[in-house]
């Protein structure tokens, strides 16, 4: 029965992945069709009316269509099954896709700025018609609807490429609205703001491209674990009666919603190897089925159950250790009368500049306070503790 249940859950997980990919591809196709249509209309209007701002807006729509195409290709590549060369899969390709989209947006902004500066230095008189203004206004509405739809879908399926595309589309709606406003100003006053508006649009595009690029590069480098995800996983681990505490959760991201990691658990020192084996397997299974996170390793801290003095020593040490600046947590305490050792781990803040000095200070504290005992202290990195 267990194997049947596991197989069923694996099939459901695979189906969820395929469903996500289908949603991303369908949304991207909608984006391509909408942007190509808008680009064709805007380019015609811009060339006919001699408007650099509208032409640049059309170019931006073409870059958006290209971004959607890249999203489709990236989603297909990211969905490839793990193999010998890439045993954790290809999910990170989605981050590369988002980075390429950011670069495209940045390049489009720079080229737009170049053309706008040329137009400022060598101005030409624009000519508008009622048809051109109607097309621009329609483009604003289409971009607002498209941007909200794409961004909301991206947030729903956790696709950074779609989120970037949606944000870009929303920005485009503001840009198109500004172009429409400039056209109305020219019609009413005869003052042409085309080139200057084109430059302003370009700067907005460049800023957006830089922000997208920074965010995507941060994801590729590896960011800290989402506190909420870390909390729910630890609570799941601690839901087992034998587990006294869960610490040192490390999650490695291999694509959106794809995590492999490890955790340490505190258990009574009376647990047998067989009991630990069964417990660890149960923890790994439950964490995967509930959170789709693969725990490749579960480390063990033993907790004193036969030594009454150990609890008193732990309380004394915890009070002194937690008074030291930049120590966030103390766990994994164990006092061994046989080996005359006192061991525990501390979670150290990234604000600590002298970890070696801190380690020496902790060792001296323990061995001075409890002569005859050797300190075994590990300084953990603040991966998921908030």
Half-sphere exposure at residue 160, Cβ-oriented, CA atoms within 13 angstroms: 26
pLDDT score, position 279:
96
CA-closest candidate to residue 314, choices 249, 322, 358, 372: 322
Low pLDDT (below 70) residues in the chain: 1-18, 49, 51-54, 56-57, 124-129, 131, 175, 384-386
How far apart are alpha carbons 167 and 152 in whole angstroms? Answer: 10
- Please give the Cα distance from 224 to 230 (Å, whole number): 10
Q: What is the pLDDT of residue 1?
A: 42
* Cα 110 to Cα 207: distance, rounded to the nearest angstrom: 10
Instruction: Decide: 311 and 304 in contact? Cβ < 8 Å.
Output: yes
| Distance (Å, whole) CA 90 – CA 96 | 11
Q: What are residue 123's phi and psi, to 5 degrees?
A: -70, 150
**What pLDDT is recorded for position 27?**
87
pLDDT tens readout for residues 131-143: 677 777 887 888 7
Pick the CATH number of 2-221 from 1.20.1510.10, 3.30.930.10, 3.30.2000.10, 3.40.50.970: 1.20.1510.10
Euclidean distance between CA atoms 335 and 310, whole angstroms:
6
Q: In this predicted structure, what is the pLDDT of residue 7?
A: 46
Domain 227-381: CATH class, spelled out = alpha beta
326 CB-near residues (< 8 Å, 6+ apart): 348, 349, 351, 352, 358
3-class state of residue 352 by DSSP? coil
Cα dihedral 143, 144, 146, 147 sign:
positive
H/E segment holding residue 293: strand 293-303
Residue of 299, 281, 283, 303 lying closest to 291 (CA atoms) = 283
What residue ranges do the domains of the chain occupy? 2-221, 227-381
**Pairing mode of beta strands 327-336, 341-348:** antiparallel
Residues, the chain: 386
Up-side HSE of residue 152: CA atoms within 13 Å toward CB? 6
Integer-rounded Cα Rg, in Å, for the chain is: 29
Q: Which two tokens stand for residue 306?
A: 């036969």
DSSP run (H or E) holding 333? strand 327-336
């Amino acid at each position: 029965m267990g194997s049947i249940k596991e197989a069923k859950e694996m099939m459901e997980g695979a189906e969820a992945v395929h469903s996500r990919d289908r949603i991303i591809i369908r949304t991207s196709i909608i984006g391509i069709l909408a942007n190509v249509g808008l680009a064709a209309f805007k380019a015609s209007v811009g060339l006919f009316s001699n408007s650099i701002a509208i032409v640049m807006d059309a170019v931006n729509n073409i870059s958006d269509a290209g971004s959607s195409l890249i999203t489709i290709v990236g989603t297909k590549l990211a969905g490839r099954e793990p193999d010998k060369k890439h045993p954790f899969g290809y999910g990170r390709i989605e981050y590369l896709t988002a980075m390429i989209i950011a670069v495209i947006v940045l390049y489009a902004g720079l080229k737009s700025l170049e053309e706008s500066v040329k137009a400022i230095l060598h101005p030409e008189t624009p000519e508008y018609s009622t048809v051109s203004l109607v097309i621009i206004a329609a483009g604003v509405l289409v971009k607002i609807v498209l941007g909200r739809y794409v961004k909301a879908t991206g947030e729903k399926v956790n696709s950074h490429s779609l989120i970037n595309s949606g944000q870009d589309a929303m920005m485009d709606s503001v840009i198109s609205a500004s172009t429409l406003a400039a056209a109305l100003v020219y019609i009413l006053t005869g003052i042409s703001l085309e080139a200057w508006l084109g430059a302003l649009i370009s700067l907005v595009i460049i800023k957006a491209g830089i922000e997208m690029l920074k965010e995507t590069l941060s994801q590729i480098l590896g960011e800290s674990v989402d506190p909420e995800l870390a909390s729910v996983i630890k609570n799941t681990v601690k839901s087992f009666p034998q587990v006294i505490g869960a610490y040192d959760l490390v999650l490695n991201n291999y694509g959106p919603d794809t995590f492999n990691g490890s955790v340490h658990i505190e258990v009574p020192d009376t647990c047998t190897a067989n009991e630990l084996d069964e417990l660890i397997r149960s923890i790994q299974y439950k964490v995967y089925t509930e959170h789709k996170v693969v725990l490749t390793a579960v480390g063990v801290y033993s907790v004193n159950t036969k030594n009454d003095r150990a609890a008193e020593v732990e309380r004394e040490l915890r009070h002194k250790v937690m008074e030291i600046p930049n120590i966030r947590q103390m766990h994994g305490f164990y006092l061994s009368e046989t080996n005359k050792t006192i061991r525990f781990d501390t979670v150290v803040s990234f604000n600590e500049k002298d970890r070696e000095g801190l380690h020496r200070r902790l060792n001296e504290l323990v061995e001075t306070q409890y002569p005859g005992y050797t300190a075994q202290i590990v300084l953990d990195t603040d991966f998921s503790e908030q």
